[in-house]
Amino acid sequence: MKAKVRILDIETGRFLVFISEEDAKNAKLHPEDLIKVETAKRTIYGDVVISNMVKPGEIGVTKDILRAYSFSDGELVNIVPGGTPESVRYIKKKMNGQKLKKVEIEAIIKDIVDRKLRDVEISSFVTSLEINGLDMDEIAWLTTAMAETGDMLDIDRKPIMDVHSIGGVPGNKTNILVVPIVAAAGLTIPKTSSRAITSAAGTADVVEVLAPVTHSLDEIKRIVEKIGACLVWGGALNLAPADDLTIKAERTLSIDPRGLMLASIMSKKYAMGSQYVLIDIPTGEGVKVEKIEDARSLAKDFIELGKRLGQYVETAITYGGQPIGHTIGPALEAKEALETIITGKGPGSLVEKATGLAGILLEMGGVAPAGMGKKIAREILESGKAYEKLKEIIAEQGGDPNVKPGDIPIGDKTYTFVAQTSGYITRIDNRAITTIARAAGAPEDKGSGVILHVKVGEKVKEGDPLFTIHAESETRLDQAIIQARRMEPIRIEGMVLQRIGNL
Ligand SMILES: O=P(O)(O)OC[C@H]1O[C@H](OP(=O)(O)O)[C@H](O)[C@@H]1O
Ligand SMILES: Nc1ccnc(=O)[nH]1
């Protein structure tokens, strides 16, 4: 059926095609059906929305579609029902616990990228991976399929280093320090990050407080070849484009299936042309990989996957038993990271982890002797060279290189929880802290989150402040307080843990 395109000032994060009731009836199209829109130059798929916002003979396309395909208003197109993609059958194979073939995985990823699979089918695919998993063959096929359906970057500065955390630990602002330290040592490190998946702030969300993170591949190539580094959002690029769509499903479900996580991370590293990759695997109570033996197994899989992709991978299993540093939430974390890189001093967990990871990368890149990397990394941090490099990154990405921690706006609606008893801090519940920070509005409300006034092992007296919730609205603050009261994220215990007698 022929139709004229009408551009709609609507943005939904999905590819929606609006069609009138009359045309829908004639074309036997129903809400949420897949529709194919064909022109001489391109074919796009979208989800049907039936609405008399458009007249018979017209289709309405949203701004999401326009960003990917430059339709012009009034352009004549041909529309046909999109039917059900073959890849839905492959998703059901995985739901049934069967191993997928390479071509079947490639079909699923291509249909995700072509928007032939809708949110419900993508969520089903992600859920099936959470339940039934992937073996190493499937993970490798998934990784290359995700990378090869997008663009690849060729940076003319070798060797190319990279670092990536599997995430899961609140306050993990570490790589905002690692990248400038490594680049200040003269190595090349084009860092891409995702936005929050299970946390209250992904690295891209935090960096965005300091500088734009949405850049084209050409722009990234220019920046990295000029200053040796970047800190950008992977989802803004056409790098492994299926990744951001599956991450959307993961974020909604707050899950990160093991096989998909391996492919999500390594597909982006592969697309960036990274040759030496360090993977941070936080382990401990309340993170994605709670047991050390599972962390070691995941480490081996990252190394094996790297070998299959021609990349040299090392892994660092890091402490994830409580949040990193004292802040959780984009602006609060940006503030803490900036304070630490300016002064060269900061929370032990943040400085130790950042210099430890950076030290490994310096040794991997051949600019530090074995065993000396962490010491050299700390010298780079304390000397101010890391800060100078971060300022270059911020400036090249379009931010204000002279931004100071005090310039960063944080939520002014606050509530502080205090100790109800004296004793020692024996536990800070990672998942509870993340839930509270997200209830307060993070990561979407950049100024929202949590400031921890205590860490595990510290002694407190009754009435001492434990943590402060920041929010940008009273409503969000109230929701966060309710969650905090329900979850009690911080446990205080005396040395007498339990008295047992007269059993
Ligand atoms: O903690 P959650 O949200 O599950 O994982 C997502 C975070 O983990 C990775 O961190 P980095 O970019 O290596 O610093 C991602 O890029 C993202 O920032
Ligand atoms: N699943 C993922 C976890 C962390 N980082 C990513 O890019 N993807």
Tell me the pLDDT tens digit for each residue of 370-398.
Answer: 999 999 999 999 999 999 999 999 999 99
> Does the annotation list 473 as a binding residue?
no
CA of 175 relative to ligand 1 center, distance in Å: 9
Q: Which atom of ligand 1 is nearest to the CA of 172?
A: 14
- pLDDT of 67 reads 82
CA of 223 relative to ligand 2 center, distance in Å: 23
| 80: DSSP letter | E
- Enumerate residues 6+ apart whose C-beta is below 8 A from 314: 276, 277, 278, 279, 303, 360, 364
List, for residues 391-437, the tens digit of each pLDDT value: 999 999 999 999 999 999 999 999 999 999 999 999 999 999 999 99
Q: Which of 479, 485, 327 is nearest to 413 (CA)?
A: 479
| 211: DSSP letter | S
Secondary structure of 353-376 as H, E, C letters: HHHHHHHHHHHHCCCCCCCCHHHH
Asked if pLDDT for residue 498 goes beyond 80, the answer is: no
Using most ligand atoms within 8 A of CB, pick from 199, 272, 302, 431 the residue to mutate for ligand 1: 199
Q: Which of 142, 230, 161, 227 is nearest to 191 (CA)?
A: 230
What residue's CA is closest to ligand 1, atom 4?
Answer: 198
Using most ligand atoms within 8 A of CB, pick from 129, 258, 265 the residue to mutate for ligand 2: 265
Query: Binning pLDDT at 50, 70 and 90, where does residue 350 land?
Result: very high
- H/E segment holding residue 96: none
ipTM of model: 0.97
Contact 9, 63 (CB under 8 A): yes
Enumerate the β-bridge partners of residue 47. Answer: 16, 34
- pLDDT of 426 reads 95
> Does the annotation list 203 as a binding residue?
yes
List, for residues 445-481, the tens digit of each pLDDT value: 999 999 999 999 999 999 999 999 999 999 999 999 9
CA of 247 relative to ligand 2 center, distance in Å: 8
What residue's CA is closest to ligand 2, atom 6?
Answer: 265
Question: Residues lining ligand 1, judged by CB closer than 6 Å?
Answer: 164-165, 167-168, 175, 193-194, 196-199, 202-203, 256
> Does the annotation list 198 as a binding residue?
yes
- pLDDT of 437 reads 98
List, for residues 76-125, the tens digit of each pLDDT value: 999 999 989 999 999 999 999 999 999 999 999 999 999 999 999 999 99
CA of 74 relative to ligand 1 center, distance in Å: 42
Give the distance, in angstroms, between the CA of residue 283 and the centroid of all CA atoms in the same chain: 18
Name the residue type at position 86. Answer: E
Annotation says 205 is catalytic: no
CA of 111 relative to ligand 1 center, distance in Å: 25
Q: Which of 274, 269, 259 is nearest to 131 (CA)?
A: 259
**Which listed residue (256, 280, 429, 445) is catalytic?**
256
List, for residues 12-56, the tens digit of each pLDDT value: 888 999 999 999 999 899 998 999 999 888 889 999 999 989 999
What's the average model confidence in pLDDT over 64-84? Answer: 89
> Does the annotation list 199 as a binding residue?
yes
Ligand number with the minimum distance to the CA of 192: 1
- pLDDT of 499 reads 77
> Does the annotation list 149 as a binding residue?
no
Q: Which atom of ligand 1 is nearest to the CA of 164?
A: 13
Q: Is the peptide bond before 159 cis (omega within 30 degrees of 0)?
A: yes
What residue's CA is closest to ligand 2, atom 4?
Answer: 166
For tokens 């084209």, the residue is 216
CA distance 227 to 394: 11
Query: Binning pLDDT at 50, 70 and 90, where does residue 252 land?
Result: confident
Q: Which atom of ligand 2 is nearest to the CA of 260?
A: 1
100-120 as b/e: b if 16+ CB within 10 A: beeebbbbbbbbbbbbbbbee
CA of 200 relative to ligand 2 center, distance in Å: 14
For the Cβ of 172 lying below 6 angstroms from any atom of ligand 2, the answer is no
Global model pTM greater than 0.90: yes
List, for residues 118-158, the tens digit of each pLDDT value: 999 999 999 999 999 999 999 999 999 999 999 999 998 88
